[in-house]
Amino acid sequence: MPDDDLKALRGIGRELAEGLRTHSLDVHEGREAAEDVVAALPAEYWCLGLRPDRNPKPLREGGRTLPVRSCREFTALMEELCRGDAGLALAMPFSSMSAMLMEQMLDASQLDAHYARMSERPTWTFFALTEPERGSDAGAITTTLEPGEDGAVLNGVKRYIGNGARAYCGLVFARNTAASGMFAVQPVLVPSDAPGFTAELLDTMGLKGAGLSEIRLEGVRVPVADGARTAPTGLRGAMQTFDTFRPCVGAMALGAGTAVYEYVDRELRAGAQRNWRDRFVHRIEATRGLIATAAAALDAGRGDGSVSSAAKLSAVRLADALAAAAVDVLGPAARLDHPLIDKWDGDIRGIEFMEGTSDIQRQTIAQGWIAGRLPLVGARPGEGR
Amino acid sequence: MPGTDESTAASPTALSPNGSDYGATAFADGVPAALARLLAEHPDWSPWGHRGYALVPEFAPRGTIVRTLQSDEGGLALCRDEYREHSLDPRWTAAVTGIRLGGAERLMRLCVQHLSRRTVQGRMTLAHPVVRAHFGEAVLDLAEARQCADLPAAGRTADAVVRATLRRFGAAGYVDGPARRLARALDLLSDLYREGGPDHAGR
Ligand SMILES: Cc1cc2nc3c(=O)[nH]c(=O)nc-3n(C[C@H](O)[C@H](O)[C@H](O)COP(=O)(O)OP(=O)(O)OC[C@H]3O[C@@H](n4cnc5c(N)ncnc54)[C@H](O)[C@@H]3O)c2cc1C
């Protein structure tokens, strides 16, 4: 996408974000449902991220179409939306990693039905990997997929799954009992109206719009084909998708952190404001540069997990520092006098866990650097910004 | 609060010189119990915090109840009386700093219990060196804070330990449960009883 279009996309995102912001506290405090906020938006916004040739309602600006497909486009839009409200940005159907993977998983007729549904009403999907006892250690999940004569049977529990209770279908990662080794863990397409499927919303500290849920799978039957079609990719394929998605999570953290930055900036008197700016303005730019570098590399097919991790960790660290500093700088009773700051602090703490905790990112960055895949000298700063 | 299987010392050396303070109650029995003890022992101290808010045991509310916070350890009431905007009592604030430090250590204990029940790559998560290092740092920070006469600095240490420790729970600390409830109570205590006047922000 040319830079002008990227700018236009940011402009649209910023405008939408302002609208989302007006619902932030009502959704956070349970007075309004995130789904209703999304449903009241023009269809262009539910259809964000769809393949341009299948998108009946593409975003348009000055007569041209603005796709949201590349990592640069995705990160730019996500940053702007999260500047409004990260929880509601996560309520947008396109923002789940499952939306990306679904296209690879669905066959032609399923894809037709999926797109038809997407253009009629907001339609969510989920990506269920984490279990109550298995988070960072995703390779050790215990949900089973038992192949039988006429299909396969799923059993297990998934936890902390975005969109889980409102999705019409999604991907469940399970251990194929008939396979072994690295391909034993594989994604399976599961409709949420399948007998034995139940999902319940969890009460979270923030990011209410993400709809974090627990999913129970008790003897859920799935056609063998839906599992077998993806068997060659398995968990490794999913990990590659994580690498692609991680800069987007970084963009979410950056957007949420920038919201905090701008809010505090408006509240301070001149002297304190100068200190605040000195402390954070360059860090924000540096993080934006790292995210742009990671996104451009991914779009150019040169993506690397460690670059993606650097982008995410930088943003999460920055956002966390901004949230903690805001509570301090705004003075006593800041959480009660500035409920948005309190809410955003809760949102930011949640973003850290998406696509792996900071400890895991640190290790990925170290591995990349040690192996020479993450050279610090020779990288063009802000490449592709 | 009971230790885990790993705590072996019969009579450990306390790193704190004042182990019998309200922090010890917060550590052993939780924040509501510590505040209840404080109220019972010092009924003449004012529990009003900044901007006329107070966080007190649910059974002893005052002013208007803004909201309640429930936990297995007991309920707390966030109360307000706008005529009490400027009645911060330094004795109460000092005791609350002790409670924040003890509460932070209680959160660490909960975290140790949580991580000792989880595994990563076949090993107990608590045994992972990265995870252990966190506890090492946090223990040292709290030990220094307990020796420290600079109460605002000690309070800031408690805040940082609470923040970093809640993160250690992973998503389990992000959903409703004992860890999140304890951390929320400690965040509010910090907000209401922290040192620093209303003009601190330059507003
Ligand atoms: C807002 C939000 C949205 C989410 N969305 C989804 C979703 O849509 N789908 C989904 O499947 N999951 C989702 N998750 C879950 C997320 O992927 C997990 O929270 C994450 O993988 C961490 O796992 P855990 O929470 O079980 O923490 P744990 O793995 O239990 O980690 C606990 C602590 O141990 C540390 N630790 C663990 N392993 C190591 C290690 N090897 N080295 C060093 N330290 C380690 C961690 O850093 C952490 O501090 C979401 C979570 C949140 C909060």
CATH number, domain containing residue A43: 1.10.540
Q: CA dist A87 to A2, A54, A210, B51, Å? A: 29, 27, 6, 29
- Ligand 1 center from residue A41 Cα (angstroms): 32
Are the beta carbons of B62 and B49 closer than 8 angstroms? Answer: no
Task: Specify the pairing of strand A213-222 against strand A151-161.
Answer: antiparallel
- Both A32 and A86 in one domain: the answer is yes
Last residue of a domain, one of A168, A202, A228: A228
**A222 and A253 belong to one structural domain:** no
Shortest distance between the Cα of A289 and any Cα of chain B, in A, equals: 26
Q: Which of A174, A201, A228 is the C-terminal boundary of a domain?
A: A228
Q: So what's the pLDDT on residue A382?
A: 56
B22-193 CATH: 1.20.140.10
- How many helices, marked H, and strands, marked E, lie in chain A? 14, 9
Residue B5 has pLDDT above 80, yes or no: no
Domain ranges of chain B: 22-193
DSSP alpha helices (H): ranges in B44-150? 90-116, 129-147
Does A110 have pLDDT greater than 50? yes
Nearest CA to ligand 1 atom 7: A161
pLDDT in tens, A232-279: 456 666 777 778 889 999 999 999 999 999 999 999 998 999 999 999
Structural domain tally of chain A?
A: 3
Instruction: Say if A350 falls within a structural domain.
Output: yes
Domain edge (last residue) among A228, A260, A276: A228
A381 domain-assigned? no
Residue A75 falls within a domain, yes or no?
yes
Is residue A107 one of the residues assigned to a domain?
no
One domain, residues A142 and A79: no
Residues from chain A that touch B92, judged by Cβ atoms under 8 A, are none
Nearest-CA distance A200 → chain B (Å): 13
- The predicted model scores a pTM of 0.93
In this prediction, residues A214-235 reach a mean pLDDT of 72
Q: Over the stretch B124-151, which tens digit does the pLDDT of each residue have?
A: 999 999 999 999 999 999 999 988 888 9
- Beta-sheet strands, E only, within chain A: 59-61, 64-66, 125-128, 144-148, 151-161, 169-176, 185-191, 197-201, 213-222
Q: What angle do CA A198, A202, A204 make, to 5 degrees?
A: 165
- Quick one: pLDDT band at residue A39, thresholds 50, 70, 90? very high
- Confidence band, pLDDT 50/70/90 cuts, at residue A16: very high
For an interface test with B, give the residue of A359, A363, A364, A365 to mutate (most B CBs within 10 A).
A359
Residue A225: per-residue pLDDT: 55
Query: What whole-number distance in Å separates Cα of residue A246 and Cα of residue A131?
Result: 20
Sequence-separated (6 or more) residues with CB below 8 Å from residue A240? none
Beta strands (DSSP E) in A33-133 are 59-61, 64-66, 125-128
Domain that holds residue A288: 235-370
Of B49, B118, B198, the CB nearest to A331: B198
**Together in a domain, A244 and A366:** yes
pLDDT in tens, A318-357: 999 999 999 999 999 999 999 999 999 999 999 999 999 9
**Is A378 inside any structural domain?**
no
Q: Which single residue is written with the structure tokens 């930088």? A: A314
Scored b (16 or more CB within 10 A) or e, A168-201 reads ebbbbbbbbeeeeeebbbbbbbbebeeeebebee
Q: Which amino acid is at B7?
A: S
**Given phi > 0 = left and psi -120 to 50 = alpha, else beta, which region is B12?**
beta
The verdict on residue A120 lying in a domain is no
Residue of A130, A158, A205 to mutate, interface with B, max B Cβ within 10 Å: A205
Half-sphere exposure of A292 (CA within 13 A, CB side): 16
- How far lies B196's CA from each of A329, A334, B128, B187, B193, in Å? 10, 12, 39, 16, 9
Q: What pLDDT band is residue A309 in, cutting at 50, 70 and 90?
A: very high
